[in-house]
Every structure is written in C-alpha cells, then in structure tokens.
Structure 1
Amino acid sequence: MARRVYLHVGAPKTGSTYVQDVWWGNRDALKGAGILLPGTAAAHDQAMTDLRAVSWRDPDARWTWDRLAGEARRWAGDVIISNEGLGAATGDQAARAVASLAPAEVHVIVAGRDLWRTFPSMWQQSIRARSTWRFESFLRAVETGKFDSFWEHHTPTRMLRRWGDLVPAERRHLVTVPPPGAPRDLLWRRFAGIVGIPDGLCELPAPTSNPSLGAAEVEVLRRVNQALGDRYPHRTPYQRVVQRHLVNAVLKQRGNELRFGVGPDRADWVRDLAERQIEELSAYPCRVAGDLADLRPAPATLVRTSVPTPDELDDGQVLQVAIETIVGLLGQADALSRRADRQYDEVLSRLTARAVGGVRRTLRRASPRD
C-alpha cells in the first residue's frame, strides 16, 4: 500500500518536460530511495487520456488510469504520477483519480508561470498540436472571453480548485516557475522539496529538451497544418510523422532567432491579469514552493522589441524559411535512407554468415572420415 502519492497535474508549459526528464532519468535512484514512478512516461500519458476520456486517445494505448493507480497502490513507499494533461480533467474525473489512490495520502502539485511568457508558449504548443489559428486570433479569443478553456486547462487557479479541493490544504502545492535569469536548477529544487528528494540524489540534465520555435518556423508549421487537411489526424499519427520528422528533426534544430511575444500594446492587460491571479492564489489555502511574485511579468520583458509576431511576417520571410526547411527535410530523409541501407547491409551480412556457416557444417558432417 502506497504511503503518499504526489499527483503532478500541470499546468502545461511550466517546465514540466524538464522536471519529468529528471524524474525518469533517475528512476532507479528514486526507487532505491523509496519513491516509485509507476509504469513509464508513456504510461502516464496514456492513463491521462483514459481518465479524461478524450476523443484523441491512441487506440493502441494499453495503459488505463486504473492500471496505473493499481501499480501505485501496490508500492510500499511514496509514488509520483506526473502528466501536465491531467490538469484539464473535469471535477468528476479528478475526484475519481484521487479516490482511486486511497488509502494513500494524496498530494496535488500544480505549477504556474507568468502570463507574459505563458501566452506565446501556449499558442505555439497549440500549433505543435495541429491547430491553425493565428497568434492574434488566440490572444483576442482570450481577451474577449471566448477561450475560457485557456484558464481552465493552462493556469493554476482553476486547476487547484478542481484538484486541490479534493485533498486537505496541507497537501495542496503550488510551484511557481522562476523568472528569467534564475538558476537553472531552481525549478527542480522546488519540486524536489515537495516530494522530499534529497540534494544530490538525482543527476540534472540541461533543460533544453523542449525548445521553442522562432516566429518564422512556427508560422511555417501553422501553414503546413492548414495544408494537411484531414491527413495525420490528431494526435498520435501527427506526432509520429509531423512532430518527429518536421518539428523535432528540422524546425527545432534551426537557429529560431525571431523570438516573439505578446507585444507592448497588451502589457497593461497582462499586468492586470497577473495581479488578479496573484490575488486569487493568495486567498487559496495551499503551500507555495517559490514566490507568488514570480507570476508577475519581469519588467524587462515588457519593453518594445523589433521582433515581429508570426502574423506580421511577410510571405518572403516565410518562403525563405520554408525553402530552408525543405532542404533540412531532404537531409533528414537522406540520413534515414543511409541508416536503413546500413541496417539492410548488416542484416544481409549476418544472414550470409549464418548461411555460409550452415553450409560448412553440413559439408563437414557429409565428408568421409578416416
């Protein structure tokens, strides 16, 4: 029977990939310290899609929420379950998840990031998940209250009320993402402090596993999504083809120098939203790992820059990056082809060696002996 279960449920784009990489990269060390990550990272994702009963669940997925919860219950120590998609669960789904882990002491962990950085990150993430809307359309939808799911699925306030209200106040944890320029391991130390992971137990990789795309690169991807039509429907087919071969292999590898943001014309709006969020979280009974002031946009980020948003790029800029992307795809295709040829040659060589060896053994057995 598990003693404690730490449910890290989101929000997306709050450094979750980095923290999860540390957890999974040190799974054996954590297990030796009595902390289990049940299944695999893919199992946590599949269990999330099962719990939420999403239409885009992979039909080949084998892990259900009940299976993952069962593994957690059988462990005698502490357990970590982590997937940023869990935060979008409904109240009933969250209640089912927490109840399924009884009688363990369940802790809920939610992370929050300042909105100035969250808005462009979340829009880009939606494009990388096959959306096609423009950045300005996204911002206007949030601004006019037509995209309420942004607040439901991507910010800590409502996540805490859906998930945190299911456990006592001392088991609710809010992690604030440190501001730009903070030590790279500070976010990890905040998570580790909640779970009770001692310093030095885990090796920390460089947090570069999920880099952002530049304005031109993400606009190329958005237009590709438009042209795809119903090919590679969300989610698994798109990840296996577009995410793997275009985004990961080519677009992420570019310089991505045109870093874009919300824009100074909306600076006051974002500041007001941030203050409102801080006020709501200050009134919510939970333990804060970090500082609520981290949720305020850093003043230096609010200054005007000359970098255009993806919407503001001219067709010539997009065309140039699209051509360079095609060149990158050709290199990727060539590398895959060469790898396949080498594997074919290796298999053929092994088969030939086995065949020759078999013939020699047969000849030796058939040859007359003195």
Structure 2
Amino acid sequence: MGDALPAGATKKVFFHVGAPKTGTTYLQQVLFQNREALADDGVLYPYEFFDESFRSMQDFRGASWGQKGPGYYAGEWEKVASRARDWTGSTVIISNELLGGSSPDRIAAGVASVQPADVHVIFSARDFARQLVSDWQEHVKHKHRVTLEQFVDDLVEKGLDAPPPFGELFWGMHDAAYVLQRWATVVPPENIHLVTVPQPGAPRDTLWQRFCHVTGLDPDAYETETKRSNTSMGVAETELIRRMNEDARSIRDDDYDRLVRIVLAERILGGQSPRLTLPPDRLEWVSQRSRQLIDELKGAGYQVEGDLEELMPDPATHATYVSPTALTEADLAPAAIRAAQGLLRHSAMLRSKVRELQEQADLRPVHKPTSRDRARDFYWRNRGRVGRVLRKMGLLRR
C-alpha cells in the first residue's frame, strides 16, 4: 500500500475534475498503465480497471447515462473512496473529467468520504475557441445531430440556457470559473490548481510536466507512451457521422457507443480532412469572454500551473474556416468510402472471431453416458410411474 506516512502527516488526495477535451484521457491512460510503479512510490491511482473511473464518477454525481438511471452505478464511488481512505502512502489521485459537473452537495459528500486527507482540486483548461468545436464533435459522437453553427450560436447567445444538454454540459463543465466556484465551497482556493493547456506548437509533454508539478510526481519516472488515444476527426469525418445520426436513433446507446464512437470515429476515420475551427463571426465574442474568464480566475486565488494567457484564442489557429454544414455529398465521399471499408474489415474480423469460437466449442470433449448414467436417468424418469404400479399391486405402502 505504499510507504507509510510519517507520524502526524496527512496524505494528499487530488481530485482531477476536468475539463473534458483537455488531455484528460491521455493523463488517465498514463496514470492507469503506471499504477503499480506509482504505488511503489506511495501514490495511489485507485482504479482496478480503466472504466472504473467513469463508473465511480457517475455514482459520485448521482447522474444518469443513456438508459441507465442515477442508481445504476450505486456503490461504485464507495469502492474508490474506501481505497483512498485506506491508503497509507503519501498521495491519491482521483481523475474523471466529468466530476467538474458535480453539484455542491455531491462535492461536499465526496470530499468528506475520503477524509482524513489534505484535499486538492486540479482543473485543466483550454481556450474556449478550441473547446467549443471539440465539444461539438464529442456530442456528434454521442448521436446528436445539431450543426456546428447552431451549436455555437446557442451557447454564445443563451449560455447555460442553451438547449439541453448542451448548455449545462458545456458551460457547466468547461468554464473554469463556474466549475471551480462550486468546488471552492468545500476546498480552499489555495488548494485548487488550474493547469492551462498550451497552444499548438508547445512541447508534447508540457501538459504531463505541469500535471506532475502539481501532484508532486517525477515526470521522468513513468512510461508516458500510450496505446489508446481519443483521436480528433476533421470537418468531413465529423459531418459524415452527424448526418448518419439521422438514421441512428433506433440503435441502442451501448451498441452505438461501441460501433460509432470507438470503432468508426476513433479507429477508422481519424482526421484526414481539414480540422475543425470556430465560425469566424464568433471569434470576437469568444475572445472577449476569454478575457473575462482570465480576470475572474486571477481574482479567485487559485494556484495556476502554466500561463492564463494561454486561455486566449489564437486567431491564427482559426484563420481558415470550413463549414461542415456546407459540405456536399461529394465532399464527404472520401470519408464515406473509408468508413465503408473500415466497417467491412471490422465485420470480417467479428465473423472470424465467431467462427473461431464455434470451432473451439466443437472441439470440446463430449461426455459419453455410461451404463450407470443410463440406469440412473431411467430410474428418475420412471420413478413415479413404477411407484404407482407397485401401489396398485399392493406391493408398496402409501
């Protein structure tokens, strides 16, 4: 359970609570694949399987997901909390990017459940321009059909009151000031850490280096190459799936998630077309809102790792705009062909697995009944009938 803390010392428990689309999946992959090495260094990453982060987060928040009601994951958070309480090492790191959307009462209960501990909060933040288009793509990968332009217009003009679930899921998860204000009702501001995500062109390991500086990890002590990745699609690939979603409403959410989000979007399509950028008529508003956010964060007393100016959109990054909605079917054809080819290969792979399982089943030894087995079976099949005959003949008492 890691090296024991010195007498009187209190372990640190870090809640990494978001935001989505800020490298959180990568950080979680690195932590998960290094959990044994981390434990040897006194650091607990308290998940026994990768998806336990999501399951425990749902229970922490008391949230619904698809057809699964708020009680579906009951007990999952307590498993994680009990491991945190029992840990005798120096540090516990709890991470899920949707924890940021928790209500104040859930935050209070969750923080109380890991005591005694010195609790810290980490929030990784990226500029709103990149976050808006990334969040739209993520919603498309979860069956939604709203266009990029409508999505951005609603969030800009209506804020938290944008059509559900977009308003609460964007501003309630991605706005650092809004999210951390709720956590600051339970955790003191000096224990809240804002990690900024650098603009494109920064060294690849910048986010990991900053995360380690906050948590006290040695950034060079662990394997940081990961197998899994949350690949971003380009304009054509995202729009192709958005239009396909018109006919995907009848697909069960679990089946859609596996086939479309993971297989099609992340493994097959990739991002071969131009990348998504913010509609140009919204860049000025987003820049003004970003400056307001920076001013709010400066006055909040949080610990900043990185540079708050990195939360300002880079106009050069959004200089070229390709409207997904304006793409023709011919524009989508290359992505559609790749999708068809990839799904065909995936289908062939599944059929091969089915055949392999059938062959394995056919090779299993078949138990041949012995004469003793046949006699026993005959007895139990005919026991009642024989009894009735014997009673009629007076040879068996009732």
Query: TM-score, normalized by length of structure 2?
Result: 0.81
Q: Which moved more, 1:327-336 or 1:238-247?
A: 238-247
Partner residue, 1:229: 249
Partner residue, 1:312: 326
How much has 1:217 moved relative to structure 2? Answer: 1.1
Matched, 1:65 2:83: no
Match of 1:279 among 290, 295, 301: 295
Match of 1:293 among 292, 301, 309: 309
Partner residue, 2:375: none
Matched, 1:241 2:259: yes
Unaligned runs of 5+ residues in structure 2 are 367-398
Match of 1:20 among 2, 20, 28: 28
Partner residue, 2:234: 214
Query: Greater relative contact order (Cα 8 A, min sep 6): structure 1 or 2?
Result: 1
Output one character per residue of 1:332-369: Cα deviation in whole Å (capped at 9) or x when no partner.
Answer: 111222233345445655x3xx67xxxxxxxxxxxxxx
Residue identity matched to 2:310 = D
2:149–2:279 contact (8 Å) kept in structure 1: no
1:18–1:207 contact (8 Å) kept in structure 2: no
Match of 2:146 among 133, 156, 159: 133
2:126–2:310 contact (8 Å) kept in structure 1: yes
C-alpha distance in 2 between matches for 1:212 and 1:118: 12
Residue correspondences, number: 347
Residue identity matched to 2:58 = T
Unaligned runs of 5+ residues in structure 1 are 356-370
Secondary structure of the equivalent of 2:121? Answer: strand
2:29–2:226 contact (8 Å) kept in structure 1: no
Residue identity matched to 1:251 = L
The 5-angstrom pairing of residues 42-81 of structure 1 reads 42-56=51-65, 58=68, 61=73, 64-77=76-89, 78-81=91-94
1:217–1:321 contact (8 Å) kept in structure 2: yes
Partner residue, 1:86: 99
Partner residue, 2:283: 267
C-alpha distance in 2 between matches for 1:153 and 1:106: 20
Residue identity matched to 1:94 = I
Q: Which moved more, 1:268-277 or 1:145-154?
A: 145-154
Output one character per residue of 1:68-127: Cα deviation in whole Å (capped at 9) or x when no partner.
Answer: 111110111211110001111111111111121122111111111011211110110111
Q: Which has the larger radius of gyration?
A: 2
Change (3 A) 1:133 1:239: same
Query: TM-score, normalized by length of structure 1?
Result: 0.87
The 5-angstrom pairing of residues 34-45 of structure 1 reads 34-39=42-47, 40-45=49-54
C-alpha distance in 2 between matches for 1:299 and 1:318: 27
How much has 1:62 moved relative to structure 2? Answer: 6.9
Residue identity matched to 1:209 = S
C-alpha distance in 1 between matches for 2:73 and 2:133: 31
Change (3 A) 1:249 1:345: farther
Q: Which moved more, 1:198-207 or 1:262-271?
A: 198-207
Residue identity matched to 2:259 = V
C-alpha distance in 1 between matches for 2:228 and 2:201: 15
Change (3 A) 1:32 1:62: farther
2:290–2:312 contact (8 Å) kept in structure 1: yes
Match of 2:342 among 314, 328, 331: 328
Change (3 A) 1:229 1:105: same
How much has 1:327 moved relative to structure 2? Answer: 2.4
Partner residue, 2:13: 5
Secondary structure of the equivalent of 1:332? Answer: helix
Secondary structure of the equivalent of 1:311? Answer: coil
C-alpha distance in 1 between matches for 2:183 and 2:146: 30
Partner residue, 2:111: 98
2:143–2:249 contact (8 Å) kept in structure 1: no
Secondary structure of the equivalent of 1:259? Answer: coil
Change (3 A) 1:286 1:204: same
How much has 1:61 moved relative to structure 2? Answer: 4.5
Using the aligned pairs only, state the percent identity: 37
Secondary structure of the equivalent of 1:41? Answer: coil
Q: Which moved more, 1:40-49 or 1:110-119?
A: 40-49
Secondary structure of the equivalent of 1:174? Answer: strand
2:124–2:197 contact (8 Å) kept in structure 1: yes
Change (3 A) 1:340 1:244: farther
C-alpha distance in 1 between matches for 2:20 and 2:290: 17
1:46–1:63 contact (8 Å) kept in structure 2: no
1:11–1:111 contact (8 Å) kept in structure 2: yes
Change (3 A) 1:267 1:280: same
C-alpha distance in 1 between matches for 2:38 and 2:281: 47
1:232–1:241 contact (8 Å) kept in structure 2: no
Q: Which moved more, 1:32-41 or 1:287-296?
A: 32-41
1:213–1:256 contact (8 Å) kept in structure 2: yes
Secondary structure of the equivalent of 2:265? Answer: helix
